[in-house]
Structure 1
Amino acid sequence: MGSVSASSKTLTFRVTRQKPELVRPAKSTPRECKLLSDIDDQEALRIQIPFIQVYRNRDDPGINESRRRSDPVKVIREAIAKALVFYYPLAGRLREGPGRKLMVECTGEGVLFIEADADVTLEQFGDAIQPPFPCLEELLYDVPHSGGILHCPIVLIQVTRLRCGGFIFALRMNHTIADGVGIAQFMNAVGEIARGASAPSIQPVWQRELLYARDPPRVTCTHHEYEEVVVDTKGTIVPLDDMVHRSFFFGPAEVSALRKSIPLDLSHKCSTFDILTAFLWRCQTIALQYDPNEEVRVICIVNARFKFNPPLPQGYYGNAIAYPTALTTAGQLCEKPVGYAVELVTKAKRVVTEDYMKSVADLMVIKGRPRVTLVRTYLASDVTRAGLNEADFGWGKPVYGGPAEGTVASFHIPFKNKKGETGRVVPIFLPGLAMDRFVNELENFFLSHNVRPHFRRTTSRL
């Protein structure tokens, strides 16, 4: 049993944790070895990704009296064990074979689970129910020796009861096993079982062979995302010793202003993600003050499930994402109107096809699973339709559900603000002075379009 005081500039609370335990599948599961796909085991995905779901203890007509009095820790722990019968690879451990090929040894050892209590109410969080979360390291404790890619638990879950009767469900998963859609699918399966279902409504599908490299492998598309970029020591160096993490809410007024700033024909054919990503890429490039001749990039993470013919099976929870990339110079991006950046973003996304995905898988095998290039790159991911804000364990849907932080990637996260406006929150991670310039750039744009932005002032310095 551990006790720790957690604090931020705006909030201080105490978290008491029970000893971490392993939750195993509720029934016997197959003991076998399952290969990951050649999309799964690329270098960019060999990370742990954290998610957080925040729940009220609401007197909702849809929540019966017995459920309101139930212990969410007990309910969720039991539901995880039952869900792992269907998602049994998650209870195994990753191994690495020849050619750095990853596989899951389905051992049934279980996922890590932590029971905790926090001496704080949900109301005390105020505007902080979005990244950066105060004291995230206490709401999702990094159990020593648990965060590796190989020979470690694939999933870590902490359920923290709040003093008001609400609770926080935090999850960390090895990204090589699942993408955002797959992780949401698992969480929703746990939720369905917690609410009394005997099985998930969407059965999990492994079938990683659908994204194996071809034989023989052959790169048939251009992949700027995996190009090795040489960093010129004379170029712009981004300082990493004073990084600031902030989130920005973009509602209907902000999106409308952005659409009015680009040609009408372009506005009609681009998504909210396209225009917001293009705008934020441009603002970040201005804020970082790159040399005008330096090459800059934007990477849009694309869900490729429906790019296949036929589409990947419903229930496929492996990584089915691509990293299409657009390139230009800092000078062109900053000097030209936002529409220029929007066209680059939409053009980049269009290259993702079934052949493109097969070409990526082949490139992984041929080139030894290279990293995604992040030099002078803005990386954006749309999780508004991933289902991360849908998990209902019996206490209703979360007031926030999505990534726990935004560092390398800027996630577009569905969010409803205190005014009831539905929009998206986007975490941004920049050096301190660059963040000041970034905020000024945003505010100047929206004020010039008669929109008073309501950007949250809370920051987290790392």
Structure 2
Amino acid sequence: MESVVCNGKFELKIKQDEPTRVPPVEETEKGHHFLCNLDQNLAAIIKTIHLYKSPDKGNEDAAKVIRESLSKALVHFYPLAGRLTISPEGKLIVDCTGEGPPFVEAEANCSVSELLSIASVDPMVLKNLVYEVPGAKNIIETPVFTVQVTKFNCGAFAVGIGMNHCMADGISGVEFLNSWGEIARGLPLSTPPSLDRTNLKARDPPQIDFPHNEFVDIEDISNTHDLYEEEEMVYKAFPFNTEKLVRLKEKALEGGVLSKCTTFEALTALVWRARCKSLKMHHDQQTKLLFAVDVRSKLNPNLPKGFFGNGMFLTNALCKAGDLLDSPLSHAVELVQGAVKVVTDSYMRSSIDYFEMKRVRPSINGTLVVTAWSRLDLLSANFGWGKTIYSGPADVPGKEVVLFLPSGEDKRSINVHLEMPISAMKTFELEIMQI
């Protein structure tokens, strides 16, 4: 199989071999692995790439090392060697078959620097570094985990991963990669995984103790869907260096309404307001913000160290677009802070029970979903070639999603990635540039 991408000057070709399976090197537990209600809402494939280049060694043995260490890592993370199925209760569950994930070796006709140059203009090119099963019609037919190792002609290589979000969140995903890297380097696991998710089971009987606006379905009175259909969608990344982030937080604290705020709260508030304005949302348009909060230490009892699963809870803020735009930035920040504060053990238990009773997923009409990877140590996974020279998503966020990625040598700067209709993107850029 060969993928061809042309940027006008250079024709990129990535030749993929036929996939093979990588089962765990030892016999692992069989049967069904429980997925909690938080997992049920996240059944989408997250694609990431991790680029390596060492001055001391080439890429000749890369696929062999990655494959052999993966077979050992899957002994500890054996659900990743299984497949999704439907439980008698009608929920997603993992059938721990031990068959192992598809593994693909590939070669690119370029250097890694040439690839990144193309990706800076066309980020969709990175999808070619992650194996996608042809003909999969739904999430059940799609493997929960795939690996592709792509060699470049400069001695670099890429590890491209596709993992179903129902298996792990960003923190667990990074810990898995680090453990896999430790095994590749012949080291013991510094953080053995804890696979038990029963702490996140619904109560019996379930009880709903709070309103859960994350599930509210919003009417699109601003005809935003028509705008998405009629205009060309464009993708762009906006850099926020440390100086700009300091100015943003100072602006959020103007007027003395707030005594403090975090970088995430200020940046999320700014993006939410700018997006509402850019999409020309009606004054009375309800708009919702969704973002994930790490609840490992908020649950009672806490999730254990090394928890492998989804320890992130999707919280929300809801208001009218007019209220958001007619008020100072501090008001939007307050809404973000309120969404963080509401996340307690009792609130999460109520939300888990809400899904148990209603079986609905969070609606994204009129909604902005902020995904922050800015706190993840994406560069840390080391298979013997040192830390990555680049790690990040292999595809762009959807039209409702804004992605915060770490940037700069110290990773304290943030790049804001999003996709919008072309006219809205122009307005969004003007709003962002004012900081």
Matched residue, 1:94: 84
Q: Structure 1 residues 184, 196: closer, same or farther in 2, change over 3 A? A: same
Percent identical residues:
33
Q: Which runs of 4+ in 1 moved over 3 A?
A: 8-12, 67-70, 125-132, 145-148, 230-238, 264-268
Deviations 1:64-123 (A, max 9, x none): x4x546521111111111100111111011111233222211111110111111111122
CA contact (8 A) 2:82 2:97 kept: yes
The within-5 A match list for 1:9-408 is: 12-42=11-41, 45-55=42-52, 57-59=53-55, 65=56, 67-68=57-58, 70-125=60-115, 133-146=123-136, 148-197=138-187, 199-232=188-221, 237-240=226-229, 242-263=232-253, 269-368=260-359, 370-404=360-394, 405-407=396-398, 408=400
Specify the code of the residue in structure 2 equivalent to 1:58: S
CA contact (8 A) 2:237 2:416 kept: yes
Matched residue, 1:7: 6
Q: Structure 1 residues 69, 21: closer, same or farther in 2, change over 3 A? A: closer
Q: Aligned-pair distance for 1:289?
A: 0.5
CA distance in 1, matches of 2:308, 2:209: 26
Deviations 1:135-179 (A, max 9, x none): 123212322135732254210111111111111211111111111
CA contact (8 A) 2:221 2:282 kept: no
Deviations 1:46-76 (A, max 9, x none): 2111112122x232xxxxx4x5465211111
Q: Structure 1 residues 352, 97: closer, same or farther in 2, change over 3 A? A: same
Deviations 1:5-42 (A, max 9, x none): 22346764111111111111111112221221122123
CA distance in 1, matches of 2:269, 2:222: 27
CA contact (8 A) 2:273 2:325 kept: yes
Matched residue, 1:411: 403
CA distance in 1, matches of 2:242, 2:183: 36
Unaligned residue ranges in structure 1 (runs of 5+): 60-64, 447-462
Determine helix, strand or coil for the equivalent of 1:347.
helix
Q: Aligned-pair distance for 1:411?
A: 2.2
CA contact (8 A) 1:31 1:108 kept: yes
CA contact (8 A) 1:300 1:345 kept: no
Matched residue, 1:456: none
CA contact (8 A) 2:207 2:350 kept: yes
CA distance in 2, matches of 1:260, 1:277: 15
Specify the code of the residue in structure 2 equivalent to 1:15: I
Count how many residue pairs are aligned between Structure 1 and Structure 2: 431
Specify the code of the residue in structure 1 equivalent to 2:186: G
Specify the code of the residue in structure 1 equivalent to 2:405: I
Determine helix, strand or coil for the equivalent of 2:217.
coil
CA distance in 2, matches of 1:416, 1:234: 38
Matched residue, 1:455: none
Q: TM-score normalised to the size of structure 2?
A: 0.92
CA distance in 2, matches of 1:29, 1:290: 53
CA distance in 2, matches of 1:236, 1:24: 44
CA contact (8 A) 2:291 2:369 kept: yes
CA distance in 1, matches of 2:226, 2:124: 29
Matched residue, 1:459: none
Q: Aligned-pair distance for 1:268?
A: 5.5
Q: Structure 1 residues 268, 201: closer, same or farther in 2, change over 3 A? A: farther
Specify the code of the residue in structure 2 equivalent to 1:360: S
Specify the code of the residue in structure 1 equivalent to 2:3: V
CA distance in 1, matches of 2:129, 2:26: 29
Of 128-137 and 371-380, deviating more is 128-137
Q: Aligned-pair distance for 1:129?
A: 6.1
Deviations 1:349-377 (A, max 9, x none): 11111112211110111001x12121111
